[in-house]
């Protein structure tokens, strides 16, 4: 009897040890992955010819960055990466580098706004910079940017105009793309930090209208929602970067998931949380086994060799980590976090990390498939949301707030 007990005890201890080893084996070493990003970013810093040469993309089969200028819609992601590296490592060298590049974007906030992208440009760079340093010059620039973005708001429609040039080119009287959800964070931030309360109202209304018209009944996104400027009525939903007007463009659905997650954070309106879950669930239900979507979910219907989009996966992984902290049902919350960790693990594998191929963090993203631009490439915003996801996961592992001190 005693021997049987000892035998069972031994097997139980062996099981616990094996389980612990398995958990550690499957866990994500965020410090290690952040260090990988640091090494890659250091290479990029040495390659960039000037401070105003903003890394944008590395075409497939090459190893050199194509650069954008301050004011490009992607110009905030590189300084944002540098801020996250400072946050993740505590190394002042990253703070100094981030300050230098971020300062090059300040003039952009003094110009009349041209598109909705001012939110992307400023919140990733100046927003993270202000969050981590409290620099008053950054704060003033963010408030200017928010006021500029508000100029594009149409109170009859209830949304922010995305592409003024498309009014004539495509005959879209008032167009609002799903990407625009991401820029609402700038308005919410400004309303809490000295800006007009009207900025909150604009962001709230934009989210409401987009929730009603920017998605189909099955909770998949339209890339572009077109409205009548006289009546405010919804005219049609179309695509610009997706496969078709009726398909689910992966990055668009990712923008929606991320956007409605922080809209709930800022408003505490349960409708936005419920909607974030609905558009998340349809995304998760249609993913390939490895958790990295095809550039458009409907593209796989035509060929299993269609390009994947690591950028969409990185955006959703980061969003799910935050969303998991708001969901009351613990089984759902845990499922969202597991999904996020699984996506991060795949993105951290040999298949998706750039490593010795180039100085980006990730491979296999898609920018604009219909125009054959940046297809199966390394893209700066994929890297940004990947490092953000790592920082958020690191904070959760440490028992901290997932979004820092925002």
- The tens place of each residue's pLDDT in the chain, 406 residues long, gives 434 333 333 333 333 333 333 333 348 999 999 999 999 999 999 999 998 899 999 999 999 999 999 999 999 999 999 999 999 999 999 999 999 999 999 999 999 998 899 999 999 999 999 999 999 999 999 999 999 999 999 999 999 999 999 999 999 999 999 999 999 999 999 999 999 999 999 999 999 999 999 999 999 999 999 999 999 999 999 999 999 999 999 999 999 999 999 999 999 999 999 999 999 999 999 999 999 999 999 998 877 899 999 999 999 999 999 999 999 999 999 999 999 999 999 999 999 999 999 999 999 999 999 999 999 999 999 999 999 999 999 999 999 999 875 5
Element counts in the chain: helices (H) and strands (E): 15, 9
239 labeled binding residue:
yes
The contacts of residue 386 (CB under 8 Å, 6+ apart) are 37, 310, 314, 317, 344, 347, 361, 362
Distance of CA 383 to the CA centre of its chain: 10
163 labeled binding residue:
no
237 labeled binding residue:
yes
**Strand partners of residue 66:** 57
Angle at 271 between CA 270 and CA 273, to 5 degrees: 65
DSSP 248: -
115 labeled binding residue:
no
Q: Are 214 and 236 in contact (CB under 8 A)?
A: no
Does domain 29-397 sit in CATH 1.10.10.10? no
**Residue 406, pLDDT score:** 54
231 labeled binding residue:
no
Task: Report d(CA 10, CA 8) in Å as an integer.
Answer: 5
Task: Report d(CA 210, CA 221) in Å as an integer.
Answer: 10
Exposed (0-12), middle (13-18) or buried (19+): which is 133, by Cβ within 10 Å? middle
Distance between first and last Cα of the chain: 60
**Residue 304, pLDDT score:** 82
**Residue 405, pLDDT score:** 58
* Strands lying side by side in the sheet with 373-379: 66-68, 54-58, 373-379, 365-368
Known catalytic residues? 117, 179
The contacts of residue 281 (CB under 8 Å, 6+ apart) are 219
DSSP 74: T
Q: Are 221 and 248 in contact (CB under 8 A)?
A: yes
**Residue 15, pLDDT score:** 33
**Residue 79, pLDDT score:** 98
| Residue of 217, 256, 224, 252 lying closest to 240 (CA atoms) | 224
179 labeled binding residue:
yes
């Amino acid at each position: 009897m005693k021997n049987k007990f000892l035998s069972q005890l031994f097997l139980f201890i062996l099981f616990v040890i094996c389980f612990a080893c398995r958990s550690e084996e499957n866990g994500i070493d965020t410090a290690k992955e952040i260090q990988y990003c640091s090494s890659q970013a250091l290479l990029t810093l040495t390659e960039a010819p000037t401070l105003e040469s903003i890394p944008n993309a590395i075409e497939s089969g090459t190893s050199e960055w194509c650069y954008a200028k301050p004011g490009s819609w992607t110009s905030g992601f590189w300084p944002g990466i540098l801020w996250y590296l400072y946050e993740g490592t505590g190394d002042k060298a990253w703070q100094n580098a981030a300050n230098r590049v971020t300062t090059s974007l300040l003039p952009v906030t003094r110009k009349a706004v041209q598109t909705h992208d001012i939110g992307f440009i400023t919140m990733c760079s100046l927003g993270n910079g202000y969050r981590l340093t409290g620099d008053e010059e950054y704060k003033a620039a963010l408030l200017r940017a928010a006021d500029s973005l508000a100029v594009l708001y149409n109170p009859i429609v209830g949304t922010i105009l995305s592409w003024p040039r498309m009014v004539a080119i495509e005959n879209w009287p008032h167009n609002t793309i799903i990407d625009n959800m991401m820029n609402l964070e700038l308005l919410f931030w400004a309303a809490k930090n000295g800006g007009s309360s009207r900025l909150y109202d604009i962001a709230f209304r934009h989210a409401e209208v987009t929730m009603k018209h920017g998605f189909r009944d099955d909770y998949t996104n339209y890339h572009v929602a077109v409205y009548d400027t006289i009546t405010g009525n919804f005219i049609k939903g179309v695509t610009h970067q997706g496969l078709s007007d009726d398909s689910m463009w992966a990055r668009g659905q990712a923008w929606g998931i991320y956007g409605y997650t922080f809209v709930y954070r800022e408003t505490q309106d349960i409708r936005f949380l419920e909607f974030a879950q609905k558009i998340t669930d349809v995304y998760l239900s249609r993913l390939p086994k490895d958790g990295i979507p095809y550039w458009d979910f409907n593209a796989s219907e035509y060929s299993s060799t269609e390009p994947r989009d690591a950028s969409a996966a990185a955006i959703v992984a980061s969003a799910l980590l935050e969303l998991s902290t708001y969901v009351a049902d613990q089984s759902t919350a845990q499922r969202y976090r597991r999904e996020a960790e699984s996506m991060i693990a795949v993105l951290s594998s040999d298949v998706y990390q750039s490593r010795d191929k180039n100085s980006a963090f990730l491979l296999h993203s898609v920018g604009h498939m219909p125009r054959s631009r940046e297809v199966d490439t390394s893209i700066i915003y994929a890297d940004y949301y990947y490092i953000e996801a790592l920082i958020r996961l690191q904070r959760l592992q440490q028992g901290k707030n997932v979004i820092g001190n925002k």
